[in-house]
Amino acid sequence: MARDKISVGIIGFGTVGTGTARILLENSNLIKKRTGVEFILKRIADLDIKKDRGIKIPEGVLTTDANAIINDPDIDIVVELMGGIRPAKDFMLQAIKNKKHVVTANKALLATEGNEIFAEAENNGVEVGFEASVAGGIPIIKVLREGLVANNIVAVYGIINGTSNYILTKMTDEKVEFADALKEAQRLGYAEADPTFDIEGIDSAHKLTILSSLSYGIPLMYDEVYKEGITKITAQDIEFASELGYKIKLLAITKLSDGGVEMRVHPTMIPNEYLISKVDGVFNAVYVEGDAVGATMYYGRGAGDMPTGSAVVADIVDIGKKIIRSQKSEVRSQKESSEFKIKKMEDVESMYYFRFSALDKPGVLSKISGILGNYNISIASVIQKGRRIGGSVPLVVLTHGAREKDVLNAIREIDNLPVVSDKTLFIRVEGKEE
């Protein structure tokens, strides 16, 4: 008799776990109608099973023992939604060794420990589903693995952290400073009490590690990602960017450049007319350029119980259908060889925005431009607002394309000039110049 049922166990009953459980329970008939497979939520494990999550859980499903899921021979798919590195990694590896497929939304775990997890899955002939690990409800993993499988990926640009995007949007729309925008994000629940992972680019770097691996067949190499957060961006920089025709976003970027792969997360100025610059608030977007398809963009909610739960259930259904059809799992071990090397940040080339704090006196611009010229950095435009004879004023320079190493050396020299009163702020610029 043909099999038509798949049993699922969830470890972690927080925000995403609740959304996943709700979808599996409330949309079970819809999923069965569309797939011909019945997905049964057999167990949910969490340390707190008394808290009311707002959904009715069938009798006997809740447990405080994760091993009741991992070691249950009837459970086909183990869903890890507890977050963190340990014990999440231990639970996943044990489930894999027990020949169970696993699904996770844990981008930090995959970015830092994923090579071992994928290798273990390959050894045991099971699959790891991780659609929910990047951009919540946006199916970007499926896009890269399946939808664009015939393309060489030219570049990926992502706004993949809703907290930072909310903060920068508020600073842009209301002309407030970073600290005030962060407080509002915390008040609304968009930012944690400790927002470090979001505002310093760490969360985006975890996700970019996964996108880079999928795009270019390289191992998961989180430590190779350049990371820079948004804490130094001021309302003044946002105003100058607007005057120049740009918006500032925290971008996660991976692309091919001179035979190497760039992996970098940092504030970036994007032209106002670009579609991705219009992605505001807590929304996410990922722009992908393929050699065959050209430019594509994917937009939606990057976090939350139901959007992320939707991505988790998509993986569950995908794997469940393969089990029913007895298909060989399409495991990615991430051990495949790649001809691409990781490009060092100092070798990356882009346009740059500089904000110098310079004394308002004759000859200052010529001194600064002279040093820039010595490092092969040419000026595209200059803005100087206000006059304070003998005092410091902001001097804004937009450059043509330049190499990061040259930029850092030039800034070091410029900041030592007696006519420069504070450290220079610079922002990388993507777009417009051909």
207 annotated active-site: yes
The backbone torsions φ and ψ at residue 116, rounded to the nearest 5 degrees and listed phi first, read -65, -40
Please list, residue by residue across 192-214, b when 16 or more beta carbons sit within 10 angstroms of its beta carbon and e when fewer do: eeebebbbbbbbbbbbbbbbbbb
Are 162 and 303 in contact by the 8 Å Cβ rule? The answer is yes
Which residue type does 326 have? S
Q: What Cα–Cα distance (Å) separates residue 76 from each residue in 114, 221, 320?
A: 21, 30, 8
Token pair belonging to 377? 């950095």
Measured between its terminal Cα atoms, the distance across the chain in Å is 62
Q: Is 304 exposed, middle or buried (0-12, 13-18, 19+ CB in 10 A)?
A: middle
Are 351 and 428 in contact by the 8 Å Cβ rule? The answer is yes
Q: What Cα–Cα distance (Å) separates residue 168 from each residue in 15, 64, 181?
A: 25, 40, 8
Interhelix angle 178-187/162-174, rounded to 10 degrees, is 120
State the catalytic residue, choosing from 207, 247, 249, 343: 207
Active site residues: 207
